[in-house]
Every structure is written in structure tokens, then in C-alpha cells.
Structure 1
Amino acid sequence: MTNPTYATTGSTGRVGDMVARRLAAAGVAQRLIVRDPSRAPELPGAQISVADYVDPSASTAALTGIKTLFMVSAAEKPDRVQDHFTFIDAAASAGVELIVYLSFFGAAADSTFTLGRDHWATEEHLRSSGIDHVILRDNLYLDFLPGLVGDDGAIRGPAGDGRVAAVAQRDIAEVAASVLLAPDGHRGRTYRLTGPQALTLAEVAATLTVALDRPVRYVAETLEEAYASRAVYGAPRWQLDAWVSTYTAIAAGEMDGVSDDIPALTGHPATSLADLLRS
């Protein structure tokens, strides 16, 4: 088997799996870096390497010989920024030349969405690492919007009349694979990946009503109501903050704004919510 110069993280998740499959379909030998090899997809030309972002030795070993890396974020937890730093440092030690990092739309040091701050810190560390990079800032996943609907047919959250330009995971994967396969012209760039529309959650509910053939409505919560309605899950405070701030970021306008980066990079329009639900 050809020794891979490409590596993909996150292949046990939706976007990483789609990216890995696109690379395999293009005939690229790749190394799938996973924590649990039993969950890794079986792809032609793929090697499996076990490593965790928290383990610098295992990460450096897994990345040795790799020139081009697709990096998704680690599992959500309070110290995942340090995990990202450790993995990027391991990539630098291993001689990785290019990292394509899956970040988040509106990532900033003071982003309302708390996890957006993690992505900003990771971007900054990547910029200072000396490794060439491409940053893909995706908006909320269109694919997750149906999952916001509760058993009573309501989407609840403190989003007000704010808009979200949610994006299909398949479009993100197509962009990522195209950049990985032909990185010239992309190095140092940051792309904003959105759907073709910025919708209020009331408009999302109306679209879901038609697609699901059952009534869906949006119920605007106050901050106090949002925390109270999610307290039943027993999640730690940082996780509750992340969940609730997804909605307050929408209310603040930080998920709004449609980009033409997906059409420009793929040659076709970004997938709409209605189209995704029909497919």
C-alpha cells in the first residue's frame, strides 16, 4: 500500500466521514486518525492510526510522513482548546505542511457562542504554528435543525428574530475535499461556509412544517427559561452555556450573512433547508 501523505481526523463523525470518502473516491491514500479503530470507515487506500489529541506522542507518531491534514475539532469539553494546541504542535513536530481546519462561523475571542471562542483560539494557534493552513468557518449545520424540534413540535430558544445561515454538511465536505486535493490558491485563506439563505427560527419552523407534514413552531424563550428548560439534562454549566449561546448568538446577528464561498468553490449553489429535507 502507498504510504499516505494525507491524514483525516473525524472520520467516525458525519463531516469527517464524508471528507474521507471523497478523498478515497479520488484515489487518495490517506491515514484515518481515530480514537476508536472499530468505528473507522473501511475505505480503499486508507490506513488506520490510533491517536487522541491529548496525547502528543501518539499524535506525532500518527502524523509522521503526513503532509496534508484535515482537522476537525475535538469533542466538546472545558479544556479542548489545549487539546487542539497539543495536536497542532504534534503536527508541527511531525512535519505536516498544510492543515485544513474546520472552524466555526463568526469565531472570535468574544463571540456570543461560547464554543466559537475555542475555535478562535485554535485558529490563532494555527496561525502562529508556522504550518500553512486553510480555515473553513462553517455556520450551524442544516442537518441538525430538525433535531431542535421537541416532542411537542416546538423549537425553543432565546434567538428572537435573529437569522441563521445554516449550511449542509455535504457542502462543507465537498469544499474541504476540494481544498485538500488542490490546495494551491487556498493557503492562508479563511472561508465562510453558509447556506443560500439566512432564516429566522420561525422560518425554519415553517419549512419543517411543510417537509415533515406536521406542525412545527418556534417559541422564543427568555434566558432564564432557556436555562431552566435544559436543566433537566443534568449537563454541566459550561455545556448549558454552549447550548443556550447557540441561540443568543443568532439573536445577536452573529449567525447571519450569506457567503458565496460554497458556490465559488464547488460550482453549484449551496443546499437550502428545503432541498436538504427533500433529499
Structure 2
Amino acid sequence: MKILATGATGTFAGLVVPALVRHGIDVRAVVHDPGKRDIPLRHGAGETVTADLGDPASLRAAFDGVDGAFLITPAFAPDATKMGLNLVEAAQSAGIRKIVYNGVYHPSLPLENHASTRPIEAALYASTLDFTILQPAMYMQGLDGAYEQARRTGTLVMPWSKHAKMTYVDYRDVAEAAALAFVDDRLSFGTFELAAPGTVDRVRLAELMTEAAGRAVTAEDLPTGFTLPPGQPAGLGAMFAEYDRHGFHGGNALVLRTILRREPRTLAAYIAELGASGPGAS
């Protein structure tokens, strides 16, 4: 089986490539910038193809000789929905069998990066494709920079209330679920929310980082009136405001546990891993 993998040069979706390879799947990695083709090749991809989700013709060429595709679109891209629809249409035209789509947790929330996924999901439901839709919570890997700053400064600051409860998932578990969806028919025609167990506020997160970093880390809120730097997507501020008011609730790990047939990785374990691998770790 050969799979076309989008997002293969990314920090998060790049983890899908080695997961696919571990399951005996040949990977053709999509690269937008040919200068980055070495990234998926180092992760085990057998080949790369230069294509653009915004260019249907390049997608049609990329699908030649593959059996399925892993699809992820960039968050807050103005044309994210169109990119996803382009790939679904190209996949149907090419006659491929399977798409695994990386959407977003709680897609019904009134947020730009959530709303952009809904038409893509609808297109898959209306298609002739065998699909699996994954809806992962916040990626634990997105905390790497916050941990490093907390380790250096002793302060953990994010643009929402330190008491807001958030739901996370280790993207390595998402990547494993994506790979399983290509080789295990029990995930066909399913839509699955993926989360690690429980919700965590920043106060608790600071406690976990204190243990991992070996120094006191304190959770702080941003000063009143904080605004995003110029050039940031407008939808980003709305997302932070949503988190500030309501958090990002969830934390039901039943689905991910069932898919993986093991316990999902926990946030506590992930932060401990950062501490064990970071500067000063023995």
C-alpha cells in the first residue's frame, strides 16, 4: 500500500510518516518547498512529490499510483477549506480507496479554525471514498516552547486564563491512529474525537513543569488589555477568547484507548519526557 501524506514536513503531521512506515506502508510525502524534501525522507518516506493543496492539477499528478491519502490543512489559512476540498475531489477523480482526514476536536465550536473543517468533513460524507476522520484535541507537542520558556524563566504564561481547563492529546497517538486507519477496516467510515484522559489547567501544568524542570514554575495570566502582535490571523484572537471564557473541555479517552488498544499517552508523561530530554537532563 502506498499513501500520499500531506503535512509531511510539519512539526506535528510529520510524525505521521514514521507511524505509517512502522505499519509497512510506503509513503509518498507531499512537499510544498522542494528544499524541505529531506525532512520526510529522514522520517522514512520512500519518495516525495512537489504539490500544492491550492493547485488541483498538482494534486492529480501527486495521486498517480497511490492507494490513499492522509489529509491535514494548515490552521487559519484563508483557503484551508478549499485546500481540503481540492484534495477530496482529486482523490475521487484518481479513484483512490481511502482518505484519513486530520480535522479538529469539537468542530461545531464557532471558531474559524473549526468551521473551516466542517465542509471538508461533509464532502467526505458525500463522497464514494472510504474515509476516517480524526478530530484531535490540542497537541501536547505544541507545549514544547512553553516548557522551554518556563524552564528558563520560571513563569508559564499563555493567552487565556490560568484556570481554564484544556484537553490535550499526544500527536504521536494521533499519528498511530492515522496509520491504523489505513490497515484496519474497523476504523472505516468513522469520525473519532481523540483526547488523552482528563483536562488540565495552567496551574496544574505549571506543577508538572516544576517537577520536570527541577525548578519552581508559576502559572501567570497576561496583563489586562493584551493584544496579539500585528500580522497574526484574526481568528487566533477569537480562539484565545473562547479558551479564556470556556476552556477547551473534553478529556474523554475512551475512543483513543479503543483505537490504540492501549492507554493513550498522558500529559504528565509528556511533560516528564520533556524534562528528561531537555538541557541539563542526565
TM-score by length of 1: 0.85
State the 1:51 CA deviation. 0.5
Q: Determine the structure 2 residue equivalent to 1:49.
A: 49
Matched residue SS, 1:199: coil
Pairs within 5 Å for 1:230-245? 230-231=228-229, 234-236=230-232, 239-245=233-239
Q: Determine the structure 2 residue equivalent to 1:18.
A: 15
Pairs within 5 Å for 1:197-208? 197-208=198-209
Q: Determine the structure 2 residue equivalent to 1:195.
A: 196
Going from structure 1 to structure 2, the CA distance change for 1:219 and 1:241 (only over 3 Å counts) comes to: farther
Matched residue SS, 2:132: strand
Q: CA RMSD in A?
A: 2.4
Matched residue SS, 2:203: helix
Q: Is the contact made by 2:29 and 2:47 (CA closer than 8 Å) also made in structure 1?
A: yes
TM-score by length of 2: 0.84
Q: Determine the structure 1 residue equivalent to 2:272.
A: 278
Partners of 1:113 and 1:202 lie apart in 2 by: 25
Partners of 1:257 and 1:26 lie apart in 2 by: 27
Partners of 1:121 and 1:132 lie apart in 2 by: 17
Count of aligned pairs:
266
Q: Is the contact made by 2:154 and 2:218 (CA closer than 8 Å) also made in structure 1?
A: no
Q: Is the contact made by 2:208 and 2:271 (CA closer than 8 Å) also made in structure 1?
A: no
Fraction of identical pairs, as percent: 23
**Which residue of the other structure, out of 177, 180, 198, is the alignment partner of 2:182?**
180
Q: Determine the structure 2 residue equivalent to 1:212.
A: 213
Q: Determine the structure 1 residue equivalent to 2:166.
A: 164
Going from structure 1 to structure 2, the CA distance change for 1:44 and 1:245 (only over 3 Å counts) comes to: closer
Q: Is the contact made by 1:162 and 1:256 (CA closer than 8 Å) also made in structure 2?
A: no
Letter in 1 for 2:67: K
Q: Is the contact made by 2:197 and 2:251 (CA closer than 8 Å) also made in structure 1?
A: no
What are the ranges of 5 or more consecutive residues in structure 2 without an aligned counterpart? 274-282
Pairs within 5 Å for 1:56-135? 56-74=56-74, 76-108=76-108, 111-135=109-133
Q: Is the contact made by 2:195 and 2:250 (CA closer than 8 Å) also made in structure 1?
A: no
Deviations 1:167-193 (A, max 9, x none): 1111111111111222x1211111111
Matched residue SS, 2:158: strand
Q: Determine the structure 2 residue equivalent to 1:140.
A: 138
Going from structure 1 to structure 2, the CA distance change for 1:214 and 1:179 (only over 3 Å counts) comes to: same
State the 1:166 CA deviation. 0.4
Partners of 1:85 and 1:136 lie apart in 2 by: 16
Deviations 1:225-245 (A, max 9, x none): 34x2x23xx224xx1432551
Going from structure 1 to structure 2, the CA distance change for 1:253 and 1:121 (only over 3 Å counts) comes to: farther
Deviations 1:108-167 (A, max 9, x none): 2xx144311112232122222332211110000112124346657132323463321201
Letter in 1 for 2:183: L
State the 1:61 CA deviation. 1.0
State the 1:45 CA deviation. 6.7
Going from structure 1 to structure 2, the CA distance change for 1:24 and 1:160 (only over 3 Å counts) comes to: closer
Partners of 1:125 and 1:82 lie apart in 2 by: 11
State the 1:83 CA deviation. 1.7
Partners of 1:75 and 1:249 lie apart in 2 by: 16
Partners of 2:44 and 2:112 lie apart in 1 by: 38
Q: Is the contact made by 1:51 and 1:58 (CA closer than 8 Å) also made in structure 2?
A: yes
State the 1:213 CA deviation. 2.5
Partners of 1:167 and 1:247 lie apart in 2 by: 21
Partners of 2:162 and 2:110 lie apart in 1 by: 14
